Structure 1
Amino acid sequence: MRSKVSGWVDASSRSLDSYFGTDDFLDVDNRSYLRVSEELEWMDSEGFTNSIGTRFKVDMPTTKKRLKLVFESNPEETQTEEEERNRRAANRDLEETKNSSVIGLEKSSDTDPKKAWRTRVNGGLKLRTPLDPYLRVSSRRMWEQKDGPWYLESYNRASWFNSEGYSVRSRWELNRRLSETSILRFTSQLQWREEQDKMQFGQRVELSKVLNARTVVRWAMIAELESASNLHVEDYYVQMNFRRDIHDEVLFLDFVPELHFAEEDEYDPRWAVILRLEFYFRADFVKE
């Protein structure tokens, strides 16, 4: 099955590349992939929730205009501000996100983000009835300390969906390399959605360590804030994310225990555990 689906991903992406690009479409590496994920979450006093997500990204490397076809479920604009909890936020409101898959074309610049802003423009349709057009513009920039361990990254996105209006998301990451296998990261993130008419903020401190070639562990402290009429903290929590490559960079396992101190619980402690499997069908697997 893996070989057949990966072959379909490869054939589909190269067929599109041949239409938009050059005659070299069969000879170049193709990084298209289909990711299927299943997530099981347990929250103290709430029990279990389960969901399946997909993301299909088509790479067209010979296309002169650098077009890419993107298919994704639960796009950022439908979710909360803390990216590490994107899929979890979607799980808690399935009615809102169950028809939020989008398909579109993306054009990106050739700019090196270490020298100037790298921009991407993406437009397409949300797959629902009636079809919902959208447009997204994103940018990325990186600044590095000369001969030093610090570097700063910025990710920004402005979006418009016909059914939901405008949204803006900005994330800034200050990173320090502690060693060849460890990074300390400070993240500030904000999001505004016209539909909700409120600002959401996230602050995160994270230590990431590569244990071996197949295993990464991250420890984090996170605060989520919201501003409608007044700024207040919705949730404090600590988190450990253990990620393991189970098989050949194709099957990944995430085990994520968390301890929350949420406003809705009057900041009393509450445990949560996430177990997630991700299966990648990659076009380049066909050549391996």
Structure 2
Amino acid sequence: MKKIITLFCLGTLTTLSLQSHAEEEDSDLPAWAEEQLEPFRARVGSWVDNTSRNIDAFFGGEQATSTNNDSYLRLGQEIDWMEGEGTSDNISIRYRIDLPTTEERLRLIIESDPEESQGTLADQGSGRLYNDQRDRRSSTLGLDWLESRDKRENWSNRIGAGVRLRVPLDPYVRLTSERLWDIGDGPWQLESLNRLSWFNNEGYSARTQWDIGRPVSASKHLRFITTIQWREEEDTLEYSETAELNHRLNNRSALRYSAIAIGESTSNPRMTNYYLQTRYRRDIHKGILFADVIPELHFQREVSYDPRWAMTLRLEMYFQREISRDYAQF
């Protein structure tokens, strides 16, 4: 099985890489599939946009019809396989309803899958969350107060409060702070993202991430990321170190090469997982339909660091009235 998965990974990546250098169009779908998909995408995208604007108009007034709105709906299908654990598949729905005109700096946000519900750093690190690691009851309704500061010049803070929509309701408070520095006159930049949260049912959590990187060329970007996280529910300090090279093959395809180390504990620090990952992302259709191929090689402490292969295949579709985000970014 391992040989089959390995050959499939290499074959898929090679095929997609060759395809990415071919003449670029805006879709890989045949004409008949595009004719079926586009009306459906337009209807759902308009429904998402109209729904969010109607809610926004109720709270914020007539400006809701003309203000840029970042609401979206994402449908996903993924298949995960890890050596020794078998295969699992998952259908996911993620959404964000953005209500920007409630006030200039106060926003009402309805969102699924908040960061605090995404598990440990080991769960989050590779972007491969199994079915039982996702909290499907984790939608939140809250107000965010945003400072009108440029994070290049000052710390930019955001304070939020609301409830997680499940029974019983789970109130939360969240503080997020961001900063971005240019290092000297060179191309290096250092970015800091910090979050402190409290959920009534799970207690406190804190997370800090420091990301230093630079462009290597017009199509390549190098990053080194340090993440530290503590959650009262786990009562364990976790940390991860990541080195990654992002390579934009063209305007519809990208590759990421990563080496990740994950550890835990302060009294008895230990590394729990090392892994190598390659992630290929392809814009299959006009900025709304994407495919990911993610092969990995893990060295986990719980199995005496014996190498184990893993693989994720993922298909995602985004719905908005207008496609304004670069979802090809990882």
CA distance in 1, matches of 2:294, 2:180: 29
State the partner residue of 2:36: none
**Is residue 71 of structure 1 aligned with residue 111 of structure 2?**
yes
Alignment check: 8 A CA contact 1:6 1:283 kept: yes
Q: How does 1:46-57 map to 2 (within 5 A)?
A: 46-57=85-96
Indicate if the aligned counterparts of 1:74 and 1:87 stay in contact, CA closer than 8 A.
no
How far does residue 28 in structure 1 lie from its aligned partner after superposition?
3.0
Equivalent AA in structure 2 for residue 105 of structure 1: L
2-structure distance, mates of 1:56, 1:277: 16
Render the CA deviation track for 1:48-79: whole Å, top value 9, x for unaligned. 11223332222333332331413112633441
* Aligned equivalents of 2:123, 2:249: Cα separation in 1: 23
Distance of aligned partners of 1:206 and 1:190 in 2 relative to their CA distance in 1, 3 Å threshold: same
Counterpart of 1:123 in structure 2 is 161
Instruction: Give 5+ residue unaligned stretches, structure 2.
Output: 1-39, 325-330
- Deviation above 6 Å: which 4+ runs of structure 1? none
In terms of fraction of residues, the more strand-rich structure is 1
Counterparts of 1:130 and 1:218, CA distance in 2: 41
Distance in structure 2 (CA, Å) of the matches to 1:18 and 1:86: 39
Q: Which residue of 2 aligns with 1:45?
A: 84
Amino acid at match of 1:88: R
In the alignment, is residue 111 of structure 1 matched against residue 157 of structure 2? no
Amino acid at match of 1:245: D
- The percent of aligned pairs where both chains have the same amino acid is 43
Q: Could you tell me whether the CA contact under 8 Å between 2:108 and 2:141 is conserved in 1? A: no
Q: Could you say what secondary structure the match of 1:24 adopts?
A: helix
Q: Distance in 1 between matches of 2:230 and 2:50?
A: 39
Q: Which amino acid aligns with 1:60?
A: L
**After alignment, is 167-176 or 123-132 more displaced?**
123-132
What is the correspondence of 1:122-201 to structure 2 with a 5 Å cutoff?
122-201=160-239
Across the aligned residues of Structure 1 and Structure 2, the Cα RMSD in angstroms comes to: 2.1
Query: Relative to 1, partners in 2 of residues 1:39 and 1:206: Cα closer, same or farther, differing over 3 Å?
Result: same
Match of 2:240 among 189, 197, 202: 202
Return 194-203 or 1-10, whichever deviates more: 1-10
Structure 1 residue 2: Cα displacement? 1.7
Mean Cα deviation higher: 200-209 or 17-26: 17-26
User: When the two structures are superposed, what TM-score results if normalisation uses the length of structure 1?
Assistant: 0.91
User: How far apart in 2 are the matches of 1:158 and 1:30?
Assistant: 26
Counterpart of 1:284? 322
When structure 1 is superposed on structure 2, of 214-223 and 51-60 the one drifting more is: 51-60
Count residues in correspondence: 284
Contact 1:77–1:167 (CA under 8 A) maintained in structure 2: no
For residue 233 of structure 1, what is the amino acid of its counterpart?
A: M
In structure 2, relative to structure 1, the CA distance for the partners of 1:19 and 1:101 (3 Å cut) is closer
Aligned-partner Cα distance in 1 for 2:61–2:218: 40
Amino acid of the structure 1 residue aligned with 2:304: E
Please name the residue that 1:101 is paired with. 139
What is the 5 A alignment of 1:21-32? 21-32=60-71
Task: Check if 1:91 corresponds to 2:131.
Answer: yes
Q: How does 1:219-238 map to 2 (within 5 A)?
A: 219-227=257-265, 229-238=267-276
Aligned-partner SS, 2:67: coil
Taking structure 1 as reference, are residues 119 and 263 closer, same or farther at Cα in structure 2, changes over 3 Å only? same
Larger Rg: 2
In the alignment, the residues of structure 1 paired with residue 130 and residue 136 of structure 2 have an alpha-carbon distance, to the nearest angstrom, of: 8
1:75, 1:100 within 8 Å by CA — same for their partners in 2?
A: no
